[in-house]
Amino acid sequence: MKAIIPVAGVGSRLRPHTFSHPKVLLNVAGKPIIGHIMDKLIAAGIDEAIVIVGYLGDMVEEWLKKHYDIKFTFVNQPERLGLAHAIWMCQPFIEEEDPLLIILGDTIFDVDLQPVIESPVSTLGVREVDDPRRFGVAVTEGGRIRKLVEKPDTPVSNLAIVGLYYLQKATPLFTAIEHLINHEIKTKGEYQLTDALQLMIEGGEPFSVFPVHGWYDCGKPETLLSTNEILLRKATPAKPYPGCIINEPVFIADSARIENAIIGPNTTIGEQAVITDAIVRDSIIGTSAKVAHIMINSSIVGNNASISGNPHEINIGDYSEIRVG
pLDDT tens across 150-200, in order? 777 777 888 888 889 999 888 899 999 999 999 999 888 889 898 899 999
Given a cut of 70, whether residue 311 has pLDDT beyond it is no
What does pLDDT average to over the chain?
88
Look at 97 and 228; give whichever has higher pLDDT: 228
How far is Cα 62 from Cα 15, in angstroms, rounded to an integer?
22
pLDDT the model gives residue 321: 66
Structural domain of residue 301, as residue ranges?
237-323
- Distance between CA 265 and CA 247 in Å, rounded? 5
Is there a domain that residue 83 lies in? yes
Query: Does residue 171 sit in the same domain as residue 47?
Result: yes
pLDDT at 230 > cutoff 70: yes
Q: Write the CA distances from 246 to 27, 62, 94, 264, 296, integer angstroms.
A: 20, 33, 49, 6, 15
Q: Read off the CATH number of the domain in which 75 is found.
A: 3.90.550.10
For the segment 2-6, the average pLDDT, to the nearest whole number, is: 91
Q: How many other β-carbons are positioned within 10 Å of the β-carbon of residue 1?
A: 15
Binned at pLDDT 50, 70 and 90, residue 20 comes out as confident
Q: What is the pLDDT of residues 78-90, one digit of tens each?
A: 888 889 999 999 9
Q: Are residues 210 and 165 part of one domain?
A: yes
For residue 321, what is the enclosing H or E element? strand 321-324
Instruction: Check residue 282 and give its pLDDT.
Output: 94
Same domain? For 314 and 200 the reply is no
Whether 227 is covered by a domain: the verdict is no
Higher pLDDT, 13 or 244: 244
Q: How many domains does the chain have?
A: 2
Last residue of a domain, one of 222, 255, 280: 222
Is residue 37 in a domain? yes
The C-alpha atoms of residue 258 and residue 245 are separated, in whole angstroms, by 10
Whole-model pTM: value is 0.84
